[in-house]
């Protein structure tokens, strides 16, 4: 092999380049000198993803319906599956109608909370260990970094990076996401943490954990959580429903109490979302939560 | 393997093709596959499969360069949210290693599967290891332990399709570029022809 030496040299150069980039980007953090590269990525790939998403959306809905089917055995699951099939049929038949319903719900939620939103659609999702999605609105629609993203059901995440016509959203389920939260009735506060790729890291099916700061405060299964609101309403506006407590972990002697939280939003089928471009004038408290407590679906 | 002078005309065409195939795989990955709710919450890594396929067809040099470029693109395509260079490093190594196997493609038909399985295994582990070194909160042991087996399985299952597509595109492009290349006895071509028979 004549060019073994040459290809080895090329490999060496490329590996050193990659390591150098990792170092520079890691050291730089948010002000990394390489963030221009991400800008290039958003500018170049954003519009392509846009087109790709609109082409594959009907196909995706169909495959989703099929992929959901296996592995659901018990009667309840079978019924749910039938339900899903029907819903998928409805969706593929009346795609736009479904989307408009989602939009209606989103608008209703936004109206209840007094949030001003920009509607968007999810066009791609992250790879590896990341729980991130791209949405089809960007700086040209007034979207900026650190804005809250919601659906009609509740909190989705926050905007981390903005391109001209697309933006990256860090989902609350991501292991790098942390949200200040409040129990609906008792007003007790704590922190909601993502458990990585759709709950893979937690060992259970709930992708969120809630840490109550006061270990002695009352907390019940079924209680619901809303966002506490960040300082200056960024990145999280107050009053957005997050999820409900499904299990409370009893660890005697610890300073905080941990609960497993089932989110209101279905993260595997995210489609229409809203970016909160203007926070409410006053904290909506529990006004955005649905009036009747939900009956703990799926458990 | 020394390049014939007549191949130089197809060389640039082949590079363009490799770039197009890689970008296509990347778009398909983020816009379609990553959104599929597959069991185990893991999706096959099309970019890795494309890099392995291109490397197996074209050797270690092309493998390393394609891997690096594909990885860099995967690092900056929205919604990527990790340190730039992580996938570039991983895919570059995998491309090079798969390219080393390109000569044995003639001997055994299991080579692509071995390359894909090894690539998926070591790729995921290396990517996670770099993440751990950098203090990435997502790269925890529990997540890795659950992702790796499923990832390897999915990648191996998806590999015949991706490799078939890549090989088909390469062959078609070469035929279109120089129709007489069919008659040339180029060693690489023979291996591709045999692959077609599989």
Query: Which residues in chain B have Cβ-Cβ distances shorter than 8 Å to A137?
Result: none
Q: For A24-37, what is the mean pLDDT?
A: 86
CATH assignment at residue A142: 2.40.10.340
Query: Which residues in chain A have Cβ-Cβ distances shorter than 8 Å to B187?
Result: none
Query: Which residues in chain A have Cβ-Cβ distances shorter than 8 Å to B75?
Result: 37, 41
Cβ contact B35–A40 (<8 Å): no
Check residue B196 and give its pLDDT.
47
Name the helix (H) or strand (E) containing A276: strand A272-278
Q: Which residue has the higher pLDDT, A206 or B193?
A: A206
Residue B197 has pLDDT above 90, yes or no: no
Query: Which residues in chain A have Cβ-Cβ distances shorter than 8 Å to B87?
Result: 128
CA B49 to chain centroid, in Å, comes to: 4
Contacts of B77 (CB under 8 A, 6+ apart): A41, A45, A49, B26, B30
Q: For B75-104, what is the mean pLDDT?
A: 92
Q: To 10 degrees, the CA torsion angle through A80, A86, A91, A97?
A: -100
Q: How many domains does chain A contain in total?
A: 1
- Confidence class of residue A133 from pLDDT cuts 50, 70 and 90? very high
Rounded-to-integer distance, Cα A259 and Cα A55, Å: 41
Q: Does some domain include residue A23?
A: no
Q: Check: CB of residue B62 under 8 Å from CB of residue B54.
A: yes
Angle at B82 between CA A279 and CA B67, to 5 degrees: 140
β-pairing, A148-150 vs A272-278, is: antiparallel
B73 touches A at CB < 8 Å: yes
Residue A199 has pLDDT above 60, yes or no: no
Residue B48 has pLDDT above 90, yes or no: yes
Q: Check: CB of residue B111 under 8 Å from CB of residue B104.
A: yes
Check residue B5 and give its pLDDT.
45
What values do phi and psi take at A243, rounded to 5? 180, -175
In 3D space, the residue among A206, A201, A212 whose CA is nearest the CA of residue A261 turns out to be A206
Residues pairing with A248 in the sheet:
A259
Check residue B94 and give its pLDDT.
95
Question: Which of A31-35, A217-221, B1-5, B100-104 is predicted least confidently?
Answer: B1-5
CA closest to A34 among chain B residues = B84
Check residue B34 and give its pLDDT.
87
Cβ contact B80–A11 (<8 Å): no
Interface test with B, best of A123, A128, A172 (most B CBs within 10 A): A128
Q: Does some domain include residue A202?
A: yes
With 0-12 CB in 10 A as exposed, 13-18 as middle and 19+ as buried, what is B1? middle
Determine the 3-state secondary structure of A221 from DSSP: coil
Q: Which domains does chain B have, with CATH numbers?
A: 10-171 (1.10.1760.20)
Check residue A219 and give its pLDDT.
86
Cβ contact B138–A268 (<8 Å): no
Encode pLDDT of A250-283 as tens digits. 777 777 788 999 899 888 878 889 998 888 777 7
Check residue B114 and give its pLDDT.
87
Check residue A179 and give its pLDDT.
93
Q: For A234-249, what is the mean pLDDT?
A: 89
Residue A12 has pLDDT above 70, yes or no: yes
Check residue A94 and give its pLDDT.
54
CA of B142, closest CA in chain A: separation in Å? 6
Cis peptide before B46 (omega within 30 of 0): no
Residue B182 has pLDDT above 60, yes or no: no
Residue B187 has pLDDT above 50, yes or no: no
Encode pLDDT of B52-80 as tens digits. 999 998 889 999 999 999 999 999 998 88
B136 touches A at CB < 8 Å: yes
Q: Percent of chain A, pLDDT > 90?
A: 23
Top mean-pLDDT range of A53-62, A284-293, B47-56, B181-190: B47-56
Q: Which residue has the higher pLDDT, B165 or A78?
A: B165
Check residue A19 and give its pLDDT.
94
Cβ contact A125–B34 (<8 Å): yes
Residue B4 has pLDDT above 60, yes or no: no
C-alpha distances out from residue B108 to B37, B48, B105, B154, Å? 35, 21, 6, 22
Encode pLDDT of A59-79 as tens digits. 656 665 665 555 444 566 667
Query: Which residues in chain A have Cβ-Cβ distances shorter than 8 Å to B55?
Result: none
Check residue B102 and give its pLDDT.
87
Check residue A134 and give its pLDDT.
93
Cβ contact A22–B85 (<8 Å): yes
Cβ contact A198–B41 (<8 Å): yes
CA closest to B41 among chain A residues = A198
In 3D space, the residue among B23, B28, B173, B130 whose CA is nearest the CA of residue A52 turns out to be B28
Residue A150, domain extent = 94-288
Check residue B16 and give its pLDDT.
87
Cβ contact B27–A45 (<8 Å): yes
Tell me the residue ranges of DSSP E strands in chain B. Answer: none
Check residue B63 and give its pLDDT.
93
Report the helix count and the strand count for chain B, using DSSP H and E. 7, 0
Q: Which residue has the higher pLDDT, B3 or B17?
A: B17
- Confidence class of residue B24 from pLDDT cuts 50, 70 and 90? very high
User: Which of A11, A41, A176 is nearest residue B96 as measured by Cβ atoms?
Assistant: A11
């Amino acid at each position: 092999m004549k060019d073994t030496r040459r290809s080895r040299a090329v490999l060496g150069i490329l590996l050193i380049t990659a390591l150098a980039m990792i170092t520079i980007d890691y050291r730089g953090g948010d002000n990394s000198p390489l963030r221009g590269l991400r800008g290039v990525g958003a500018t170049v790939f954003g519009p392509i993803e846009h087109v790709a998403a609109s082409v594959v959306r009907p196909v995706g809905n169909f495959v989703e319906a099929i992929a959901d089917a296996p592995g659901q055995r018990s009667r309840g699951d079978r019924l749910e599956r039938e339900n899903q099939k029907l819903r998928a049929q409805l969706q593929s038949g009346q795609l736009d109608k479904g989307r408009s319903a989602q939009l209606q719900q989103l608008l209703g939620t936004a109206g209840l909370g007094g949030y001003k939103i920009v509607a968007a659609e999810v066009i791609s999702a992250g790879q590896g260990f990341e729980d991130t999605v791209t949405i089809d609105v960007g700086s040209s629609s007034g979207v900026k970094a650190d804005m809250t993203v919601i659906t009609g059901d509740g909190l989705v995440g926050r905007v981390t990076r903005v391109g001209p016509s697309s933006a990256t959203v860090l989902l609350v389920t991501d292991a790098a996401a942390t949200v200040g939260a409040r129990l609906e009735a008792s007003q007790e506060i704590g922190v909601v943490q993502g458990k990585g790729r759709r709950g893979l890291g937690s060992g259970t099916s709930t992708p969120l954990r809630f840490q109550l700061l006061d270990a002695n405060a009352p907390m019940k299964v079924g209680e619901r959580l809303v966002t506490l609101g960040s300082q200056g309403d960024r990145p999280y506006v107050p009053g957005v429903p997050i999820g409900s407590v499904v299990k409370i972990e009893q660890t005697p002697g610890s300073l905080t109490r941990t609960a497993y939280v089932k989110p209101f939003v279905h993260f595997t089928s995210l489609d229409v979302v809203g970016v909160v471009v203007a926070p409410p004038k006053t904290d909506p408290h529990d006004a955005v939560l649905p009036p009747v407590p939900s009956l703990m679906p799926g458990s | 393997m020394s390049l014939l002078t007549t191949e130089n005309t197809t060389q640039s065409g082949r590079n363009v093709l490799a770039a197009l195939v890689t970008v296509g795989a990347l778009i398909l990955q983020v816009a379609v596959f990553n959104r599929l709710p597959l069991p185990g919450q893991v999706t096959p890594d099309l970019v890795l499969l494309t890099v392995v396929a291109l490397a197996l067809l074209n050797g270690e040099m092309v493998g390393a360069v394609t891997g690096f470029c594909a990885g860099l693109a995967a690092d900056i395509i929205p919604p990527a949210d990790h340190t730039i260079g992580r996938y570039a490093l991983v895919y570059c190594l995998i491309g090079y290693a798969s390219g080393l196997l390109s000569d044995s493609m003639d001997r055994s038909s299991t080579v692509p599967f071995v390359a894909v399985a090894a690539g998926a295994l070591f790729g995921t582990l290396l990517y996670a290891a770099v993440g751990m070194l950098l203090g990435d909160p997502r790269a925890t042991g529990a997540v890795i332990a659950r992702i790796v087996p499923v990832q390897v399985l999915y990648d191996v299952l998806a590999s015949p399709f991706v490799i078939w597509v890549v090989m088909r595109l390469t062959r078609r492009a070469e035929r279109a570029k120089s129709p007489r290349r069919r008659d040339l006895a180029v060693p690489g071509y023979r291996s591709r022809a045999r692959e077609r028979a599989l």
